[in-house]
Structure 1
Amino acid sequence: MPDSKSIVKPQVLPKGALGMTLLVLATTIVSFVVMMGITSISPTKAVTQVIIGANAVSILILIYLSYATLRKLIFFKSKEKNRDLHTSITIIFALIASIPSIIVACFSLIVLDNRLNSWINPENNQIIDMSIKAAQSYTEDNAQSLLSTTLSMVIELDQRRLLYNLDRGAFSDWLTYDADRNNLLGASLVKSNGEVVVSARLFNDLTLPAVPLKAISGAAGERPVLIPPGATNLVGAVIKTQALPDLYLYTIRSVDASALNNMRIMTDNNKEYQLLASNRANTQIAYALLYTELTLLLLLTAVWTGIAVANRVVQPIRVLIGAAEEVATGNFDISVPVKGSDGDIGALSQTFNNMVGQLKTQHHDLTSAKDEIDERRRFTEAVLSGVTAGVISVNANGEIAGLNRPAENMLDINVSDALGKPVTTVFPEISEIFALAGIHDRSSSRRQISITRNGVARSLNVQITREDADTRNASFVVTVDDITDLVAAHRSSAWADVARRIAHEIKNPLTPIQLSAERIRRRYGKVIVEDRAIFDQCTDTIIRQVGDIGRMVDEFSDFARMPKPQFTTTNVVDVLKDASFLVEISNNRITFEHDFGDEPLLGNFDNRLLGQAFGNIIKNASESIDGVLEQGIIDQGYILVRATGAGSSIMVEVLDNGKGLPSENRHQLLEPYVTTREKGTGLGLAIVNKIIEDHGGRLEMLDAPTNFHGGRGALMRMVFPRLVETSAA
């Protein structure tokens, strides 16, 4: 019984598929997060190229998994039947998942390209450059102002070098005053190592940064060195004093913090903008790979999900299909499992089980009825095979539904060739009887007919019986009795009786007539002088005609009282040679040919009667040739006498190139007193046929074959039973 356990579920997941899928999913998520800038990892060109490589490998993994899955699906489809529904469900799931994913991926790539085009263009680049230049210009203006102020202060400081040397306190006051006047946050004199010597006393509560040593070393010339803001909003300047050796003036001024902060932001944004512009192609490739990877991942997931769903949905259907195939092979002891959770499929399975149960019962009833019908048919066939009459079953359409072996032999047909064909086509001689049986409201019709098969004429008694009273749908049974021998026996008996009477009535006056004619010739032959020639001619004619009539009467007598044959084991070739020799020596205008073979053809024959039959046949052939020779139709006559053995039969054939046999009703030549010659009695072939039948043989009258002197003439074939010698064990 096919059940869920016997149905193979396709294991389409390749080895390690789950781990590879999770790895691909993790790669996709990490790549997406990095590309979106959510993490601390900036999507630089190098990072983007790493992401491209990782996602390319992930796509190759997904392609491999898809190929492996597809290959296994195809393998299972080729190995198992009825997987079309399973495959269809899987394809539907794949299409439902992949088509929207492909559309979204294409749409996202288009949107990404448009957004990049809207961000990265000459106009935006120009705006950013102008903003940065404006901020830098503001900073540079403040720096130049600080540099000018610092340069002015160092000039004044050089002029007050005496004050520095004499009164450091007064010098500090002046420095404080000058710094405050120039809006400085701080001003001080420092050494080359950064140590503060004097500083302005400004009360701003600010902790000012120390002077960078790098700036001090760069301020060795006459021009001040600018210290950029850096992370603060303070701008500084350092210049070397000329009057005070190894001292440097260090000034600090504040710049607008918001402007400086905006400049920093714009600078950072410009860096990101330039990075994005230089990394645009990589970004597009990375996102394209991400979308492709996501689409393949969704497609593969959908295929696996579809297979799982298909296994759940299709499995009960496949169980039903397998059970149906078992039922188709004749197994009615099958049933399918029914689960309450299967829903409509469960109801269908229960209905299927009920149907199989009913089919099993009906099959049992039909088998029993068939066995009974077969038993009746065998009984009927046994009965029909035991009867000598031919029986033909004809359906309502006039087609042959069956026939027994005697009917095959009588009609010279094969049952396989006759079944299903119209009976009037196979057996046209009964067309008229069949038509009468269908027209007249009679249960049966009988008629005697004559048929010819293979040159042999037979007399048949045909009876057609209607099986059904309904003439529109009636079937028929045709019974055929071969009465050829019976008719021939009746005819021969009648002709024999006629022959006896004729022989008796004619033979009695023949002797006195002949004696009287001879006496007249002896008594008056010497007396009559006038018209002596006429007298002799008349007496000779009387004597000759009486002799002819006597011989005819002898033939009548022979036909009337055919002796019973005395059988002895004889080689038919010897008898045939003697009969042929007697005809050959009497006719030198005919060429005789012989083909007797080397082996003896033994049988139980009456040598005298068989020689009489052979001699009559060969004599008829000779006389047939004489007729066409006298008419000048042929120049040379030929007779072929042939004897061959064929299994359990002996076949004797006499071929001639004479005038041949009539094409119609030639079978009537075997009847007494039927002849085609002017002086023939019509008893020769009748006697020959009687002798052959007494020897258990048959006589066939055929046309000469085409390879015998152009096919002209006749072929007389005589078939006898052969005596087969068996060696002692």
Structure 2
Amino acid sequence: MNVLSEKKKNRWVWSLLLLVVIVITMITAQGLRGSASVAGEYSLFFLLLLYLNLFLALVLGVLVFRKVFRLWQDRYQHRAGSKLRMRMVLMFVLLSLLPTLVIAILSLNFLNRGVDSWFSDRISLALESSLDVARAYYHENQRTVRHDAEAIVRNRRVTSALSLGGAEATVSLLEVERQARGLDEIAILRADGTRLARAGELPFDPIPDLTAMNEGSSKALMIINDAGDRVRAFVPLGEGLFISAGHWIDRQVLGRMENIESTFTHYKKLRATHGLLKANHTVTLVLITLLLLLAAIWSGFGIANSLTDPITDLVIGTRKVAQGDLSVNLPISGDDELATLMTAFNAMTRKLSENHEELQNTNALLEERRRFMAAIVHNISSGVISVDQHNDVTLINPTAAKLLAIDPVAALGQKLGEVIPEAFLQPLQTFLQEQKDRSIPPPPPIPGEPTHPGIQILIAGVNKPMTLLTRITLLEDHQGESRGFITTFDDITDVLVAQRTSAWSEVARRIAHEIKNPLTPIQLWAQRIRRKYMKNVEHPDMDLRILDEGTNSIIQQVEELRILVNEFSTFSRLPRPKLNENDIHASIKEALILHAEALATMEVRTVFDEKLPKFPHDPGQIKQVVTNLIANAIAATRENSAPSVLAISTRFLENSQRMVLEIADNGIGIPTQDRDRVFEPYFTTKKKGTGLGLAIVKKIIEDHGGSIRLKDSVLNGVLVEIKLPLFHSGQGQRQDGPQEIS
């Protein structure tokens, strides 16, 4: 707004200067029109005006040149509005140049012809003849008065009347002569000017001394007053007397004669400066033309600026809006159509700014929601893959990348078939096509629920086979056109194992219940038979041996069945652990003592972390776990010809507040594909194993909130890694699984 006010101020200043130039030019032109009548009396004044016009023309020319140079500079630098401003200025220059030059040429021609006509011979001769006529009329009046005075002197009656009849008779006679000759006054005077007789009256200046005139001379003395409108003739009458005859000259004639004489005098002076006058008029006309042209150009700049400045502001504002600056507010002046356009532009930018702000807020909200959803998708335990209508992967979360063993960054934008494993792709495509080919449309989807039920897909996995529960959600736009689909999948391998474990637990409970009931009476009756019939046999040697072997076999088989039933019962109804602050090293040492006889022939390596503190656990169940694992290690090393080695170690993970128990051997090992299944009930790699030992071990560890897994051992056997959480006094927390803290 300050720049606009400064522009307006400068515009007013230069407009006032232009008005002054035009006024001075008009004064100069008007003065030069009358220069022919004032000749050189005011030549200095008009010369000063001429110089002033020249100076103003130079100033205006410099200003116009400055504007033209600035316009050219703006055009060269491709500034906004420069093209339109240049076109408008050129249009105004052409519109003003052509008529001004035509008028100037015609005026110059007319002026030269007019000046030449002023000083033509006919004008000079006419003025000179007029002056001669005026002078002749004036001289004729003088001659008439003189002639009348001389005629009166020759009239003897006047002289006789003066000597005989006295003054009255003389006056009467003089009156008759005055009226007869048309004079205004006739008088008889002495030489000293004393009037003796007078007829009529003519005011006059003091009468001159007539003594010098010779008496008797007929020569008359002519006297004209200073104004030149009264003429007197003095003629000697004799005896020291004089006749005075006076007459008024017509003032109009006298004035015209003076005008003619004055005009002729000026005309002769101007004629002497004929060439200079023509040059003066020519220069003045050229200056006036130049001033008019410069004024027209200046006005053209002003009008062009008044039209292009708002347009330039509009162009600049539009560029700023195009660059994202929606705070543009154009200055508005006037109430014309351009002002209406600027007002509409400002209203548009305000609306755009409001919409942009609303859009930014909406985008911020959407971005916040996107980040929230991305965080959910990124951290969700399920694998998520989004595919567009062109079968290109648009989203894949870390869980999906981990489960399918693919690079999430490289997968984006790739075809789905080029990214995921073939074992997962084929069932997925079949399932997807089945959903698309449904003749009956599915019911409306529940928000947050998949569109279609899932299927189980078995894949190899990185370290173990995995079963993925896969679901598909079809994506459609508001017109029902397919926009791709989203597939989600979860690793349900552990769930299936747990389901099988739960199922086998129920089976074990029922088997144990059905078998346990008849075992007791069988064992009791076998013992009773043995006690009773061992004393009353006919053939002691043979009968006792048969009876002894039979009853022992029955008792042994029943005992094995009882052990099996106990394992079934333990697996199906494992008691909740009682968590107390205990030293796990003590439980490990007790388990080693139980197997001391079997371990006597083996190399046992123990590395216990002394920094490991006491932590809540059930020492009995932990001892059962270690005992079971040591027994498995002993059995595995017996089938190996190399010297048997057993390594047991503990480590304290201070950062995660967990402990690690590792039991390794150099036995025959377990195949990689079976390392997860060995923890399933009734799955065993032993010839006489029940398949419940490791299942019980895993259940105990999970009830303690820990984890167990099998790894390759550096001893070329199997390494069992157990991780348990540590809880100091006052910081105990219940973990998943049945626990009891006492």
TM-score range, shorter chain: 0.3 to 0.5
Calculate the TM-score normalised by the size of structure 1.
Answer: 0.46
> Taking CA–CA contacts closer than 8 Å with sequence separation of 6 or more, which of the two structures ends up with the larger relative contact order?
1
Calculate the TM-score normalised by the size of structure 2.
Answer: 0.45
- Select the structure of larger CA radius of gyration: 2
